[in-house]
Amino acid sequence: MMANQRKEITDDLFVHEPLEEGKAEELSESPTSFWREALGRLFKNKGAVMGLITIIVISVLAIAGPIMNSYHYDDQDILRSNLPPLIPGLEWMGLDGTNVDGVNIYEQQGVTDAPAWAGTDEFGRDLWTRVWKGTQISLLIALVAAFLDLMIGVIYGAASGFYGGKVDDIMQRIVEILIGIPNLILIILFILILEPGITSIILALVITGWVNMSRIVRGQILQLKGQEFVLASRALGSSNKQLLWKHLIPNVVGPIIVTLMFTIPTAIFFEAFLSFIGLGLQPPLASLGTLIEDGYQEMRYFAYKLIFPAIVISAIMISFNVLGDGLRDALDPKMRK
C-alpha cells in the first residue's frame, strides 16, 4: 500500500502552494452562531425534545380539549353522574365504562348519549372537558405569574447588580429577608388576605417568585461586569451593539430562559397545592389542583377522577423540568454533564 502511495507522488507536487486564505480559515474554525449551536444541542437531547412535544400537545389540548365534545365544563346532568371513562375503541386499556367491580355503569344507568372519555364527576360534569379547562387555567396562572416574575426579577436584579454599592446592599438585605421566610407560608398568608381567586393566586405566587429570578440576573450582571472578555472585546474595538449581542445577551438570556422554565412548573405546583389545601379556586371554576382535590376525596370508589388530572399535572411538571434541564445544558455547554 505504501508503495502505491509512493508512485502517485510525482515531482510536480513539490512546488510551494499555500492554502488560500479562505480555505485555511475554514479548516481552522467553523463559526456557527451561538443560538443555532444551542438549538442544535437542544434537539440532540431526546428528553428535552419529548418534553417540548408534550408541552405543545398539552397546550393544544388545553385550548382545544374543552370544545372537542358537546359538554361545557359546568354543565350539570344528574343522569350522567359518576360515569367511569369510556372511549370506544380503547376498551382494552380499561377505558370501558366499568367501575372497580366490573359493572358497566353506562348500561346500569341507561346512558345512551355520547360517552364521557374521561368519566364524569358526581354532578355529571364531563371530566375530559373539565380537566382541559382546568389545565388551561393552571397554565394561564403559571404563565402570567412567570411573566410577572420575569419582569420584576430582571428589573430588580439588573438594578441591584448594575448600581452595586449601597443600593445593592439594601436591595440584597430585602431579598435575604424574603428568602428567610419559607415562601409557601408567605403565599398562604397573602392568599388569606386577598381571598382565593385567579388574580390573588397569581399575585401571591409573584410575591415570592421574583426573588429567584432577580438573584440569577444580579449574579450574571455582577459576573459579567468583572469579566475580562467584556473588557478585552471593548479593547479590541467591538461596538456596544456587538458587545451586547455577542456577550451580554447570550450570557444573561440563557440563565433567564432556564430559570423561566423552572418557574412555570413551580407556579403550577403552588397553584395546585393551594387548591389542594382549600385555598384555591372556587367551584364551578376548575384548575388541576381543584380537580385533584375533588378526585382525591372520592379516590376510593372513583379512582379515575384522581388519576386523569394527576397524569396531566405530572406530565406538565416532568416536561417543563426536562426541557429546563435540556435548555440549561444546551445554553451552557460548560455545565454539560
Q: Is 299 in the site for another protein (CB under 8 A)?
A: yes
Among 3, 4, 7, 9, binds another protein (CB under 8 A): 9
Q: How far apart are CA 254 and CA 260, in angstroms?
A: 10
In whole angstroms, the minimum distance from the beta carbon of 316 to another protein comes to 9
Q: Which stretch binds another protein (CB under 8 A): 101-109, 145-153, 251-259, 307-315?
A: 307-315
Q: Is 57 in the site for another protein (CB under 8 A)?
A: no
Nearer to another protein by C-beta: 123 or 276?
276
Number of residues in contact with another protein under rule CB under 8 A: 58
In whole angstroms, the minimum distance from the beta carbon of 189 to another protein comes to 5
In whole angstroms, the minimum distance from the beta carbon of 241 to another protein comes to 27
Q: How far apart are CA 283 and CA 280, in angstroms?
A: 10
φ, ψ (nearest 5 deg) of residue 281: -70, 155
CA-nearest of 291, 317, 294, 302 to 133 is 291
Residue 319 · residue 54 · CB < 8 Å: yes
Alpha-carbon Rg for the chain, nearest whole angstrom, is 28
Among 56, 60, 192, 249, binds another protein (CB under 8 A): 192
Q: How far apart are CA 172 and CA 163, in angstroms?
A: 12
Among 285, 313, 330, 331, binds another protein (CB under 8 A): 313
Q: How far apart are CA 161 and CA 179, in angstroms?
A: 18
Q: How far apart are CA 200 and CA 271, in angstroms?
A: 11
Residue 279 · residue 191 · CB < 8 Å: yes
Nearer to another protein by C-beta: 15 or 93?
15
Q: How far apart are CA 126 and CA 121, in angstroms?
A: 7
In whole angstroms, the minimum distance from the beta carbon of 1 to another protein comes to 12
Among 279, 291, 327, 331, binds another protein (CB under 8 A): 279
Q: Is 177 in the site for another protein (CB under 8 A)?
A: yes
What are the grid coordinates assigned to 180, written together? 428567610
Q: Is 310 in the site for another protein (CB under 8 A)?
A: yes
Q: How far apart are CA 164 and CA 264, in angstroms?
A: 29
Nearer to another protein by C-beta: 67 or 335?
335
In whole angstroms, the minimum distance from the beta carbon of 239 to another protein comes to 25
What are the grid coordinates assigned to 212, written together? 429567584
Among 63, 64, 79, 189, binds another protein (CB under 8 A): 189
Q: Which stretch binds another protein (CB under 8 A): 80-88, 159-167, 236-244, 293-301?
A: 293-301
Residue 294 · residue 121 · CB < 8 Å: yes
Report the sign of the C-alpha dihedral through residues 67, 68, 69, 71, in that order: negative
Q: Which residues bind another protein (CB under 8 A)?
A: 5, 8-9, 11-19, 24, 27-29, 44, 47, 176-177, 180-185, 188-190, 192-193, 195, 265, 269, 272-273, 276-279, 292, 296, 299-300, 303, 306-307, 310, 313-314, 317-318, 320-322, 325, 336-337
